[in-house]
Structure 1
Amino acid sequence: MELGQLRAVLFDMDGTLVTSDASVERAWTTWAAEYGVDPVEVLSQAHGAPAESTAVRMLPHLDRAAWLAAAARQMELQYDDLSDVVAAPGAFEVLAVLDRRALPWAVVTSADHQLAKARLGAAGIEPPLLIAIEDITQGKPDPEGYLRAAELLGVDAQYCLVVEDAEVGLAAGRAAGAITAALKGLDGDIQLADLHDLAELLNRTGE
C-alpha cells in the first residue's frame, strides 16, 4: 500500500501515543520482586505484551489461575501510578493532522480498559475507538486487536497504518496485513524518530 491510499491509523498506547515507560517499568520491577524473578528479564519480555503472557513466560511452573492472579497483580500496580504519564512528543500534532484529513484512528493496547482510560485521560487523549485486552481473545503479537480495530472502523487492514514501539506490536501489525511505522529504532516499513515525524509524513502524503 502507498501512504496516499491510507484510510486509517491504528496506534499502540504505551510508549507510542502516551509516554508511560517509567510507570510501566516501576510496576514490573515491583512485580518481579514480589514473584522472585529477575527484573531485567521481566522488562525484556514485558514491553508491549499482555500481562498474562508475560506471567506465563516468567512463571511457567504455575497454573492458569495463578497466572491470571499474577497478571491482575501487575495491572493493579499500574492503575494509580500516573504521576509522569503524558502525551508522547508529537501526539497532539499527528492527531490534528488526522482530524484535518478526516482519517479515522484507534488505539489498540495490551492494557485493560481501566488502565488504558486512566493513562489516556492523564495524557489528555480521547480516542474515537479503543481496543483493550478484554475486547479480544489473543493479545499481541497476534493480529486480532488490529484486525478488530480495522473492522470496527470499516477499513480493510491493508489500508491501515499501525504505529508501534514494541516488536510484539509490530509483529501483530504485520500479521494483520497493515503497513507498520516503528519507533525507538525498531524495524518497520517506516522508521520514526517520534510522532512529529509521522505528522510531517501524513501532511506530505495528504497534499
Structure 2
Amino acid sequence: MKSFDCEAVLFDLDGVLVNSNVAVEGHWRRWAQQHGLDAEAILKISHGRPATETIREVAPHLIAEEEGRAFLQREAEDLAGVVEVEGVANLLNSLPDRQWAIVTSGTQAIATNRLRHVGLSVPKVMITADDISRGKPDPEGYLKAASRLGVPPERCLVVEDAVAGVKAARAAGMSVVAVATTYQPADLIEADAIVPALVGMAIEQQVMDGDRVGLRVLLAEA
C-alpha cells in the first residue's frame, strides 16, 4: 500500500467525486452532431478541460464564448445519470473542512448542482471555471485552491481522473493520484500513483503543531 503525507487534498469533481460521464458525453455528442463535427475526436480531448477552450480548439470557425455559455447552461440543468462515486462521502468526512477543496473545469452552477444532486456538501473552497482565466492543464486553479486553503503547493495532494488535470497538478508542483475511471492507466503515467477507483483510498489524520492536522493518504494502486 502506497502512502502520501500532506496537509490538504484537492479533488477534481467529475470522474472523481461524481460520475457525470453519461450527461457530459451526451451533451458533446449532440453538440458535435449539430455542428457536423467528429464526436469521438472531441471526447478524446474534452475531459477535464473548460468547455469553451475545447470548442475553441475543435471549432475555430465558431464564436467559442457564445457556444460555451449555451453549452454550460445546458450542462448545469441536466442532472440525468449524475451519481455519487462509491466511497466519496466517507472519504470526505475523514477530512477537516479547511484541508480539502474541489478544483473543477465546470462552472460554479454545474459543480454546485451536481454536488447537491448527489447529496454531497459544497466545500468551503471550490475553484471553478468562473474563478480562473486559464483552465487545466494550466496550474492556475490548483494554485488558487492551495492559496485559499493557506497550504503550500508542495504540501497538497491532487486527486484527478483526466490527463489535463494530472498535467495541471504537476505544473503546480503538487503530488497527484490518478483515478483510472475516465482514462486508462497507461494514459495517466505522469501521476505519482494510479488507483482503479476512489474506494481504494483512505485518509488518516496525524497530530501536528498549531490548528492544522497532518494527513496521510493510503491507497491501493492499480
Aligned to 2:42: 42
RMSD: 1.8
| Runs of at least 5 residues in structure 2 that lack an aligned partner in the other structure | 206-215
Residue 83 of structure 1 deviates from its aligned partner by 2.0
Residue 36 of structure 1 deviates from its aligned partner by 1.5
Residue 206 of structure 1 deviates from its aligned partner by 6.9
**Counterpart-to-counterpart distance in 1, 2:111 and 2:78:** 12
Residue 3 of structure 2 is aligned to residue 7 of structure 1: no
**Counterpart-to-counterpart distance in 1, 2:84 and 2:19:** 6
Aligned residues: 198
**Counterpart-to-counterpart distance in 2, 1:195 and 1:90:** 7
Aligned to 1:86: 83
| Runs of at least 5 residues in structure 1 that lack an aligned partner in the other structure | none
Q: Is the 8 A contact 1:110 1:133 kept in 2?
A: yes
Q: Is the 8 A contact 2:103 2:141 kept in 1?
A: yes
Q: Percent of aligned pairs with the same residue? A: 39
**Counterpart-to-counterpart distance in 2, 1:206 and 1:132:** 24
String of CA shifts for 1:76-111, please: whole Å, max 9, x gaps. 221222122121112112112224xx7610000000
> Quick one: structure 1 residues 32 and 206, their matched pair in 2 at CA, closer, same or farther if it must change by over 3 Å?
closer
**Counterpart-to-counterpart distance in 2, 1:195 and 1:26:** 24
Larger helix percent: 1
**Counterpart-to-counterpart distance in 2, 1:171 and 1:123:** 28
String of CA shifts for 1:48-95, please: whole Å, max 9, x gaps. 100111001111234xxx110111122122122212212111211211
Alignment map for 1:117-132 (pairs within 5 Å): 117-126=112-121, 127-132=123-128
Larger strand percent: 2
Q: Which amino acid aligns with 1:196?
A: V
Question: How high is the TM-score relative to the length of structure 1?
Answer: 0.90
User: Which of 143, 152, 164 pairs up with 2:160?
Assistant: 164
Q: Is the 8 A contact 2:201 2:217 kept in 1?
A: no
String of CA shifts for 1:122-168, please: whole Å, max 9, x gaps. 12112221100110111100000000000000000110011000000
**Counterpart-to-counterpart distance in 1, 2:36 and 2:76:** 22
Aligned to 1:98: 95
**Counterpart-to-counterpart distance in 1, 2:198 and 2:135:** 24
**Counterpart-to-counterpart distance in 2, 1:97 and 1:193:** 20
Aligned to 1:203: 204
Aligned to 1:67: 64
